[in-house]
Amino acid sequence: MDQGLLLARLVLGLLMAAHGSQKLFGWFGGYGLTGTSGFFESLGFRPARLFAAAAAAGEIASGLLVAVGLFGPIGPALMLSIMIVAAVTVHWHGVFATSNGVELPLLYATGAVAIALTGYGRFSLDALSGLGSVWTPLIVAAVLAAGIAGGIINLSLRRTPVTAQ
């Protein structure tokens, strides 16, 4: 089981961190902060540069926390929060990615929650440092609930999206 958790954490976490790097740095074919800011502006997030930087930094941080298995449910909750916003604002066009549907954010969010509920396993920094025992089911649930609340609050800050004239 620990090997499976390590594999899942590495794939989910490193892909999420790379996804954030596209937004923040323009790496891996991304648009960088300037291009991402323009997109966020069109979605109604103002100030767009602040929202874009926060989303990108959150994706990088959550991905790295999950990949190395540090701080229990905090990384997964952050990932969940960001994916809620992405699903509602960008991907609410059906299910599958071919129609820009919720498939990708749903997979990231589900993977994050599953890892939070399961724990990081033996091959994690939490296990090596002794932090793994801190994350009781009640604390995990509370942190995941805070992640959901964070996504909802972020959505409530969104203004009417800018439409092309």
pLDDT score for 160: 78
- The reported pLDDT for the residue numbered 162 is 60
Please report which helix (H) or strand (E) contains residue 99, including its range: none
Q: How far apart are CA 103 and CA 93, in angstroms?
A: 10
The residues spanned by each domain of the chain are 2-156
> Which tokens go with 163?
């439409």
Residue type, 22: Q
Q: What is the pTM of this model?
A: 0.94
What's the length of the chain? 165
Q: What is the pLDDT of residue 93?
A: 85
Please report, in tens digits, the pLDDT of each residue of the chain (165 residues total). 999 999 999 999 999 999 999 999 999 999 999 999 999 999 999 999 999 999 999 999 999 999 999 999 999 999 999 999 999 999 988 999 888 899 999 999 999 999 999 999 999 999 999 999 999 999 999 999 999 999 999 999 998 766 655
Q: What angle do CA 4, 77, 159 make, to 5 degrees?
A: 135
The per-residue pLDDT for 20 is 98
Q: Determine contact, residues 78/143, Cβ cutoff 8 Å.
A: no
**The amino acid at 18:** A
C-beta of residue 72 within 8 angstroms of C-beta of residue 115: no
